[in-house]
């Protein structure tokens, strides 16, 4: 018979719906942490009622301790806990045996020795403790804890001689500074000053630090041995010598003498220190010296100290950076205040010898003032004319005129010659300057000199040369014309203006035309000024020119002419011209100026007329693309809608009609 086939079991679908209470991973971790932090209740107390039970308890504890030690003999805490438990059971001999076994395991463990010795001291086993300390300091003489504890124990027992012997054994190992200071304090507690002095003398040889020498001297001073303190300082200075000298030693020595009111000794010490200590470490010495002189010195001594200190600072600055001209200026100012001519000249020569390494003009701007100050010093303070002239000549020859020049150098030189009534030499210098390196400032300075000398013919020649050099400079034309105006030659001034406005290139033509018009206006030539405006409007259609023209007409006071009407016609012409060839912004600007004019001078009709001509501002979004072509987007721009242009823009009316229809529909809804 065939076996019947098994029908496969259909797996039941599990319920995959989320549980009603969800537990997060954070909650699981928090609960686990809270369980760790739960306080475990202490074990129940065990009461021992008879000796048999006590022996059984001790046997179990000792076996547990021994098992721990057997598992890990190097764990010193197991030994210490074992010994402490035996001590709590009053089994001192057993505790001692445990410590000895532990020392056999690790005899260089400092904690083990300390715990062992403290056990003996707690139970007043002095000889045992002393033997332990002896063994410890022999095995580990560099462990200072043993020596501190040993000496403390002997002192507490009243065994001063024994403590001193321990200190002596300790000092043979040349321990750190604190050990020596502890020994000294020990001797001072028992008023053994001579012994403390001997310890100090050995201490400063083992640890030859400046601070320790100062402590030694202070010890002598506090105990009333002034000569001994002075002797200590002197020995310290000899000990360190000039190679390893410290400024702190001299400051402490000087303050020691200051407390003894030996002020002359103090000054000698400070001066000796300034001569022997490196200059870069003299700052504190100068500070202390200054404070001393302020307390006990006179005004001259104080100023001398301060001056010397500043000199040192400036010397360090200019030595580190010779082209630090600001430091040179401060240094020279200090030197000049002392009044020593030779020192001042020597300092100036050192300063000007540091020529800037770069041939760029900005690097020379501070440097040239060193030469100028040098020349002014020789002229005004030293009153040496020939040396001043030599300084100026050297100064001029130092500047690389083919690359750049400094006009002030030539002008100062020329003014110097004029002050000394050497007019020919001054003009010669300025002529050389203009021939070698013509500059606007040189021309202007030379012309100002000649004007002060009332040499107007020379001024005219110089202006002509100046205009040949730079005919596009409008300021030069204006000043030339103003000079002729001041001299009363109106026709020459007008001719200069005419030549100027006919130039092909001008740097500021608007300034020139404005000056020309103002000139004609001041001369009362209104018609000529009007013609100038008309000529200017033939060249430019700028709205500010129309505004200026209209303002000119409004303020003119010609007989038989209505200035308001004439100005209004100018505004109308300007509006029409800008309508044909100007920007909307310019057109709005002239309309605003026209409206302001009508508010001041017109009636209601004229004001209404201009207001109706003002444009409407409409914001619109236009696409833009950056120069690189990567960024694209939209930006807002202001569009001006002028009522006069509505007829030429039918699409605008269609747009407004559409907006009105949409608004009406929205209201009906």
Average pLDDT value for residue range 524-538 = 76
Beta bridge pairs of residue 621: 636
Residue 553's nearest CA partner among 581, 539, 572 is 572
The pLDDT of residue 149 is above 90: yes
In contact, 87 and 94? CB cutoff 8 Å: no
pLDDT at residue 641 in the model: 67
How far apart are the C-alpha atoms of 303 and 290, rounded to whole Å?
9
Q: How many residues does the chain have?
A: 669
Q: How confident is the model at residue 122 (pLDDT cuts 50, 70, 90)?
A: very high
How far apart are the C-alpha atoms of 246 and 240, rounded to whole Å?
8
* DSSP string of 486-537, one letter each residue: HTT-HHHHHHHHHHHHT-S--S-HHHHHHHHHHHHHHTT-HHHHHHHHHHHH
pLDDT at residue 151 in the model: 94
The pLDDT of residue 513 is above 90: no
Residue 267's nearest CA partner among 240, 295, 239 is 295
Question: Average model confidence (pLDDT) for the chain?
Answer: 80
Q: How confident is the model at residue 194 (pLDDT cuts 50, 70, 90)?
A: very high
pLDDT at residue 155 in the model: 92
Average pLDDT value for residue range 300-320 = 68
Average pLDDT value for residue range 583-592 = 74
Long-range contacts, stretch 458-462, CB < 8 angstroms, 24+ apart: 459/483
Task: Collect all residues with Cβ–Cβ distance below 8 Å to 98 and sequence separation of at least 6.
Answer: 79, 82, 83, 86
The encoded tokens of residue 304 equal 């001398």
Average pLDDT value for residue range 148-159 = 93
Q: What is the pTM of this model?
A: 0.50
How far apart are the C-alpha atoms of 431 and 443, rounded to whole Å?
10
Q: What percent of the chain has pLDDT over 70?
A: 88
Phi-psi region of 148 (alpha: psi -120 to 50; beta: other; left: phi over 0): alpha
Q: How confident is the model at residue 198 (pLDDT cuts 50, 70, 90)?
A: very high
pLDDT at residue 646 in the model: 56
Q: How confident is the model at residue 654 (pLDDT cuts 50, 70, 90)?
A: low
Buried b / exposed e along 486-513 (16+ C-beta atoms within 10 A) = eeebeebbbebbeebbeeeebeebeebb
pLDDT at residue 307 in the model: 66
Average pLDDT value for residue range 511-531 = 77
Average pLDDT value for residue range 92-105 = 93
Q: Which of 123-137, 478-492, 631-645 has the highest mean pLDDT?
A: 123-137
Residue 368's nearest CA partner among 421, 335, 413 is 413
Q: Out of 145-154, 350-359, 498-507, 641-650, which region has the weakest mean confidence (pLDDT)?
A: 641-650
Beta bridge pairs of residue 149: none
The pLDDT of residue 283 is above 60: yes
pLDDT at residue 2 in the model: 47
End-to-end CA distance of the chain: 90
Distances (CA, A) of 640 to 547, 586, 589, 617, 653: 20, 11, 12, 5, 15
pLDDT at residue 93 in the model: 94
Q: Which of 70-74, 590-594, 628-632 has the highest mean pLDDT?
A: 70-74
How far apart are the C-alpha atoms of 326 and 99, rounded to whole Å?
76
Average pLDDT value for residue range 573-587 = 74
The pLDDT of residue 341 is above 70: yes
Q: How confident is the model at residue 67 (pLDDT cuts 50, 70, 90)?
A: very high
Residue 277's nearest CA partner among 313, 252, 312, 242 is 242
CA 360 remoteness from chain centre: 27
Q: Out of 32-46, 369-383, 648-662, which region has the weakest mean confidence (pLDDT)?
A: 648-662
For the CA atoms of the chain, what is the radius of gyration?
52
The pLDDT of residue 593 is above 50: yes
Long-range contacts, stretch 318-321, CB < 8 angstroms, 24+ apart: 318/350, 318/351
Q: How confident is the model at residue 121 (pLDDT cuts 50, 70, 90)?
A: very high
The pLDDT of residue 6 is above 70: no
Q: How confident is the model at residue 147 (pLDDT cuts 50, 70, 90)?
A: very high
Beta bridge pairs of residue 639: 618
Distances (CA, A) of 660 to 13, 134, 277, 666: 68, 114, 96, 10
In contact, 412 and 392? CB cutoff 8 Å: yes
In contact, 512 and 501? CB cutoff 8 Å: yes
The pLDDT of residue 485 is above 60: yes
Would the CA dihedral through 442, 448, 450, 456 be positive or negative?
A: positive
The pLDDT of residue 232 is above 70: yes
């Amino acid at each position: 018979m065939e076996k019947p086939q098994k029908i496969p079991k259909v797996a039941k679908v599990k319920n995959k719906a989320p549980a009603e209470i969800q537990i997060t991973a954070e909650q699981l971790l928090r609960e686990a942490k809270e369980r760790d932090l739960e306080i475990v209740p202490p074990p129940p107390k065990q009461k021992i009622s008879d000796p048999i039970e006590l022996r059984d308890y001790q046997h179990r504890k000792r076996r547990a301790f021994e098992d721990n030690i057997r598992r890990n003999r190097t764990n010193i805490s197991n030994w210490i806990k074992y010994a402490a438990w035996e001590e709590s059971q009053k089994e001192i001999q057993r505790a001692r045996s445990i410590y000895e076994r532990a020392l056999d395991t690790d005899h260089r463990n400092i904690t083990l020795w300390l715990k062992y010795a403290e056990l003996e001291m707690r139970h007043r086993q002095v000889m045992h403790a002393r033997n332990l300390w002896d063994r410890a300091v022999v095995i580990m003489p560099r462990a200072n804890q043993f020596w501190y504890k040993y000496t403390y124990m002997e002192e507490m027992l009243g065994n001063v001689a024994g403590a001193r012997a321990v200190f002596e054994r300790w000092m043979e190992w040349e321990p750190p500074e604190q050990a020596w200071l502890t020994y000294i304090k020990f001797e001072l507690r028992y008023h053994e000053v001579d012994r403390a002095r001997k310890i100090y003398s050995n201490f400063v040889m083992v640890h030859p630090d400046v601070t320790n020498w100062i402590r030694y001297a202070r010890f002598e001073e506090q105990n009333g041995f002034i000569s001994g303190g002075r002797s200590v300082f002197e020995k310290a200075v000899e000990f360190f010598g000039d190679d390893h000298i410290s400024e702190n030693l001299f400051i402490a020595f000087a303050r020691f003498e200051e407390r003894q009111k030996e002020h002359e000794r103090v000054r000698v010490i400070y001066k000796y220190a300034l001569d022997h200590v490196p200059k870069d470490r003299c700052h504190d010495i100068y500070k202390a010296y200054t404070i001393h002189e302020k307390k006990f010195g006179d005004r001259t001594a104080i100023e001398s100290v301060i001056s010397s200190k500043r000199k040192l600072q400036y010397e360090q600055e200019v030595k580190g950076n010779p082209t630090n001209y600001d430091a040179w200026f401060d240094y020279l100012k200090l030197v000049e205040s002392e009044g020593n001519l030779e020192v001042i000249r020597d300092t100036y020569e050192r300063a000007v010898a540091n020529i800037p390494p770069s041939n760029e003009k900005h690097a020379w701007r501070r440097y040239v003032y060193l030469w100028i100050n040098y020349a002014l010093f020789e002229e005004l303070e030293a009153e040496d004319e020939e040396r001043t002239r030599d300084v100026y000549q050297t100064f001029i020859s130092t500047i690389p005129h083919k690359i750049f020049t400094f006009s002030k150098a030539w002008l100062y030189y020329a003014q110097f010659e004029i002050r000394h009534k050497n007019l020919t030499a001054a003009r010669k210098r300025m002529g050389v300057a203009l021939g070698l390196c013509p500059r606007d400032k040189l021309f202007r300075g030379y012309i100002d000199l000649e004007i002060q000398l009332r040499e107007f013919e020379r001024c005219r020649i110089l202006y002509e040369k100046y205009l040949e050099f730079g005919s596009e400079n409008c300021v030069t034309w204006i000043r030339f014309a103003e000079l002729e105006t001041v001299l009363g030659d109106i026709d020459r001034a007008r001719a200069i203006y005419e030549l100027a406005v006919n130039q092909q290139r001008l740097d500021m033509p608007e300034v020139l035309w404005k000056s020309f018009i103002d000139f004609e206006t001041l001369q009362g030539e209104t018609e000529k000024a009007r013609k100038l405006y008309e000529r200017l409007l033939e060249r430019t259609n700028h709205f500010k020119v129309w505004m200026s023209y209209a303002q000119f007409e409004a303020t003119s006071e010609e007989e038989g002419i209505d200035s308001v009407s004439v100005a209004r016609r100018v505004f109308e012409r300007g509006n029409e011209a800008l309508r044909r060839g100007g920007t909307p912004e310019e057109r709005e600007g002239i309309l605003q100026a026209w409206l302001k004019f009508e508010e001041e001078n017109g009636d209601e009709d004229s004001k209404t007329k201009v207001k109706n001509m003002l444009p409407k501002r409409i914001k619109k979004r236009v696409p833009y693309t950056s120069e690189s072509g990567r960024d694209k987007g939209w930006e807002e721009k202001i569009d001006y809608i002028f009522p006069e242009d509505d007829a030429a823009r039918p699409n605008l009316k269609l747009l407004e009609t559409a907006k009105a229809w949409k608004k009406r529909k929205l209201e009906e809804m």
